[in-house]
């Protein structure tokens, strides 16, 4: 496998009264071609801000530092070449080419990302032509239909003529996926999906997860799947990264992290998730800390049942629990 995305020391800072906070703090991660990385965290963990930084969509006033290398496409096949580009230093003009063409995006609520007064097919055609103005309208139309078909939208010709509100939530999300993958002859190589199924019913969620998994395999997409739901991530991810208060606190093969977590926060999330088998839930005490009131040591220390005096002294490094499984905890 070839490395598609390589992020080193990514930090995002936002201005607040009296200084800056870091919703993303020194994050490093990588995604291989065809691999699915699940990024897990609760609200305020920084997972969404991280994805916005990768797409150059940070809010006004935010500043990002570090590196995020997206491998250059290999002309000969759908692999990756040797001339990567740093997403964090690209000019807006270059970023526009990357978004859609090389990185596709799917968000939680498709209704807010789709234009309500424009037919679904026309929106996909417009996206195709925005990134590739040389494409004729008839060619754009053919690509839009092909994309809807690829996203398993039933009766794509009929659906293309409809407005977003005429589609169910699941179909709207399929249309979004179609739009994300419609671009360029070959389509993007990296798909960022931020809580793509959170607003959907479970039976529909299952279909969308299966669709994303199939498309990833068929198109050899790298997938960055962002979610708060450990059960959902278990269905789609090869590897997992768990975020807390802006930092990655555990990463490793998905199954290993979920079955044998090392970080007390990961273990806490698992214990707090309701399961079909009734059992006492083990809530995590307290609340997620505010970014402007982070403790000096481990951010989880105030809520941690296993804390020791040294946990409050300094932020622990990510330590290797096994060859590919690491956790930011002194107990490792």
Partner 1 sequence: MTEFLLEARDLKKSYPRSSRLLATAAGDDEERIAAVNGVSIELAVGETLAIVGESGCGKTTLARMLLRLIEPDSGEIRFAGQDLRAVRGAELRALRREMQMIFQDPFASLNPRMRVGELVGEPLAIHEPAMSRRERLERTAAVLERVGMGADALGRHAHEFSGGQRQRIGIARALILRPKLLVADEPVSALDVSVGAQILELLAELQREFSLTVLLISHSLPVVAQLATRVAVMQVGNFVETGPAERILNQPAHPYTRALLAAVPEVPAA
Sites of contact with partner 1 (CB under 8 A): 42-43, 169, 201-203, 205-206, 209, 228-232, 234-235, 255, 258-260, 268-278, 280-284, 287-288
Q: Say which DSSP state 254 is in.
A: H
The nearest distance, CB 205 to partner 1, in angstroms, is 7
DSSP 206-220: HHHHHHHHHHHHHHT
Q: Which is nearer to partner 1, 84 or 253 (CB)?
A: 253
Is-contact 171 85, C-beta < 8 A?
A: no
Nearer to partner 1, 57 or 282 (CB): 282
N-terminal to C-terminal alpha carbon distance within the chain: 29
- Least distance in Å: CB of 28 to partner 1? 25
Q: Which is nearer to partner 1, 91 or 280 (CB)?
A: 280
Based on CB atoms, which residue is closest to partner 1, 91 or 278? 278
- Residue 165 CB, nearest approach to partner 1 (Å): 13
- 190 Cβ contact list (under 8 Å, min separation 6): 4, 5, 31, 70, 102, 103, 104, 221, 222, 223, 224
Distance CA 292, CA 313 (A): 18
Q: Which is nearer to partner 1, 272 or 314 (CB)?
A: 272
Residue among 157 and 255 whose Cβ is closer to partner 1: 255
Asked whether the beta carbons of 7 and 66 are under 8 A apart, the reply is yes
State in angstroms the smallest separation of the CB of 261 from partner 1.
10
For the bound state, the minimum distance from the C-beta of residue 278 to partner 1, rounded and expressed in Å, comes to: 5
Task: Compute the distance between CA of residue 212 and CA of residue 276 in angstroms, rounded to an integer.
Answer: 25
d(CA 261, CA 158): 47
- Residue 151 phi, psi dihedral angles, 5° rounding: -85, 15
Minimum CB–partner distance for residue 133 and partner 1 (Å): 40
Least separation in angstroms between CB 198 and partner 1: 10
Q: With contact defined as beta carbons under 8 Å apart, do 39 and 47 qualify?
A: yes
CB atoms within 10 A of CB 67: 15
Closer residue to partner 1, CB minimum distance, 160 or 211: 211
């Amino acid at each position: 496998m070839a490395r598609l995305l390589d992020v080193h020391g990514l930090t995002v800072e936002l201005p607040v009264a009296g200084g800056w906070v870091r919703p993303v703090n020194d994050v490093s991660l990588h995604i291989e071609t065809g691999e699915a990385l699940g990024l897990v965290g609760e609200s305020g963990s920084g997972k969404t801000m991280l994805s916005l930084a990768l797409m150059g969509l940070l809010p006004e006033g935010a500043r990002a530092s570090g590196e995020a290398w997206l491998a250059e496409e290999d002309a000969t096949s759908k692999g990756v070449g040797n001339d990567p580009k740093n997403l964090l230093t690209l000019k807006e003009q270059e970023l526009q080419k990357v978004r859609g063409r090389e990185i596709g995006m799917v968000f939680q609520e498709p209704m807010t990302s789709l234009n309500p007064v424009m037919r679904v097919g026309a929106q996909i055609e417009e996206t195709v032509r925005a990134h590739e103005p040389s494409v004729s309208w008839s060619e754009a139309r053919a690509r839009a239909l092909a994309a809807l078909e690829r996203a398993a939208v039933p009766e794509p010709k009929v659906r293309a003529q409809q407005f977003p509100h005429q589609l169910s939530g699941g179909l709207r999300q399929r249309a979004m996926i179609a739009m994300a993958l419609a671009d360029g002859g070959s389509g993007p190589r990296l798909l960022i999906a931020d809580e793509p199924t959170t607003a959907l019913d479970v039976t529909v969620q299952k279909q969308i997860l299966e669709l994303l998994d199939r498309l990833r395999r068929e198109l050899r997409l790298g997938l960055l799947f962002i979610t708060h739901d450990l059960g959902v991530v278990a269905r789609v991810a090869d590897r997992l990264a768990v975020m807390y208060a802006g930092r990655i606190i555990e990463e490793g093969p998905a199954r290993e992290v979920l079955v044998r977590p090392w970080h007390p926060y990961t273990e806490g999330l698992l214990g707090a998730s309701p399961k079909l088998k009734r059992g006492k839930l083990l809530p995590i005490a307290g609340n997620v800390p505010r970014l402007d009131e982070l403790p000096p040591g481990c951010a989880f220390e105030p809520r941690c049942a296993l804390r020791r005096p040294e946990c409050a002294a300094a932020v622990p490094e990510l330590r290797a629990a096994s060859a590919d499984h690491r956790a930011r905890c002194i107990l490792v």
